[in-house]
């Protein structure tokens, strides 16, 4: 997707109907009910927010992704969006997404232009309820990964995300000694799965619906 195309659909993206669980189930249908039941049993989940950021590079739109550092935790080494848990000083979840992005990859909070939220995703293994927010930038940013949290940063082309065959199915090593069969996106040897894949699924469907309706 080129910069001019994105500018044409950006306002439509703001008002498009949220797809929610229907989009998530396209990625993880086998555990959809399990996630809902787990959230129902956890009335006070840990709150966090992530930033899905549209970035123009050589006039083509991309989404900024990060590879998390390896650590003793359920999200060790996984691919995701910049983001993290809510802190007391945060005014709201959107602020959390902006602050965490600045801390993790060095993009100033003020340089993120807000578009809209997507549907929350509950992650049973860590007990986090994650709120995704969509932003855009009008320039190619300088990325400065925070080495304690981010192993690397890369860009996923929006045009690739919109392809019907972008999701494939296979076994994923969860990092905890077990595997799970699920749908995921493979990009430059990396597998984007789990909660991030669910968010990307919703965003992909929204973008394709808007593009077809124009």
**Position 74 confidence tier, pLDDT thresholds 50, 70, 90:** low
Q: Tell whether the model's pLDDT for residue 177 goes beyond 90.
A: no
| Residue 56: inside a domain | yes
Given its phi and psi angles, is residue 177 left (phi above 0), alpha (psi -120 to 50 degrees) or beta? Answer: left
Contacts of 182 (CB under 8 A, 6+ apart): 27, 28, 30, 169, 170, 172, 193, 194, 197
pLDDT tens sequence across 131-154: 999 999 999 999 999 999 999 999
| Residue 130: inside a domain | yes
Q: What is the pLDDT of residue 77?
A: 73
| Residue 110: inside a domain | yes
| Residue 176: inside a domain | no
Contacts of 45 (CB under 8 A, 6+ apart): 39, 122, 127, 128, 129
Q: Tell whether the model's pLDDT for residue 76 goes beyond 70.
A: no
| Residue 182: inside a domain | no
Q: What string of DSSP letters covers 145-211?
A: --TTTEEEEEEEEHHHHTSTT-EEEEEEE-SSS-EEEEEEEEETTEEE-HHHHHHHHHHHHHHHHHH
Q: What is the pLDDT of residue 97?
A: 98
The CATH number for 155's domain is 3.90.79.10
Q: Which has the minimum average pLDDT: 8-12, 61-65, 88-92, 173-177?
A: 173-177
Q: Which has the minimum average pLDDT: 8-17, 30-39, 85-94, 175-184?
A: 30-39
pLDDT tens sequence across 188-197: 999 999 999 9
pLDDT tens sequence across 22-64: 888 888 766 666 777 888 889 889 999 999 999 999 999 999 9
Instruction: Name the residue among 200, 162, 207, 158 with its Cα closest to residue 13.
Output: 207
| Residue 190: inside a domain | no
- What is the percent of the chain with per-residue pLDDT over 70, rounded to a whole number? 93
Q: What average pLDDT is seen over the chain?
A: 91
DSSP, collapsed to helix, strand or coil, labels residue 72 as coil
| Residue 179: inside a domain | no
Measuring CA to CA, how many Å separate 99 from each of 4, 79, 93, 111? 28, 19, 10, 11
Q: Tell whether the model's pLDDT for residue 127 goes beyond 60.
A: yes
Residue 155, domain extent: 3-162+195-213
- What is the percent of the chain with per-residue pLDDT over 90, rounded to a whole number? 71
Q: Tell whether the model's pLDDT for residue 200 goes beyond 80.
A: yes
Torsion angle in degrees (nearest 10) through CA of 48, 132, 153, 172? 90
Bigger pLDDT: 28 or 201?
201
Q: What string of DSSP letters covers 30-68?
A: GGHHHHHHHHHT-SSPEEEEEEEEEEEETTEEEEEEEEE
| Residue 185: inside a domain | no
Domain count, the chain: 1
């Amino acid at each position: 997707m080129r910069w001019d195309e994105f500018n044409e659909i950006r306002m439509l993206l703001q008002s498009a109907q949220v797809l929610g669980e229907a989009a998530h189930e396209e990625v993880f249908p086998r555990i959809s009910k399990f996630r809902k039941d787990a959230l129902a049993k956890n009335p006070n989940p840990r709150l966090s927010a992530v930033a899905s950021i549209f970035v123009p590079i050589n006039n083509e739109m991309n989404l900024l992704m990060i590879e998390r550092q390896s650590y003793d935790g359920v999200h060790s080494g996984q691919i995701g969006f910049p983001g993290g848990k809510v802190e007391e000083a945060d005014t709201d979840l959107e602020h959390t997404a902006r602050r965490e992005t600045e801390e993790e990859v060095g993009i100033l909070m003020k340089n993120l232009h807000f578009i809209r939220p997507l549907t929350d995703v509950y992650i049973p293994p860590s007990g986090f309820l994650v709120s995704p927010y969509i932003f855009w930038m009008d320039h190619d940013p300088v990325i400065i990964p925070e080495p304690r949290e981010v192993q690397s940063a890369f860009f996923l082309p929006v045009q690739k995300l919109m392809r019907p065959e972008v999701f494939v199915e296979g076994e994923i090593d969860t990092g905890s000694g077990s595997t799970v069969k699920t749908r995921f996106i493979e990009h430059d040897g990396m597998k984007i799965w789990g909660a991030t894949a669910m968010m990307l699924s919703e965003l992909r469907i929204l973008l394709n619906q808007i593009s077809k309706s124009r």
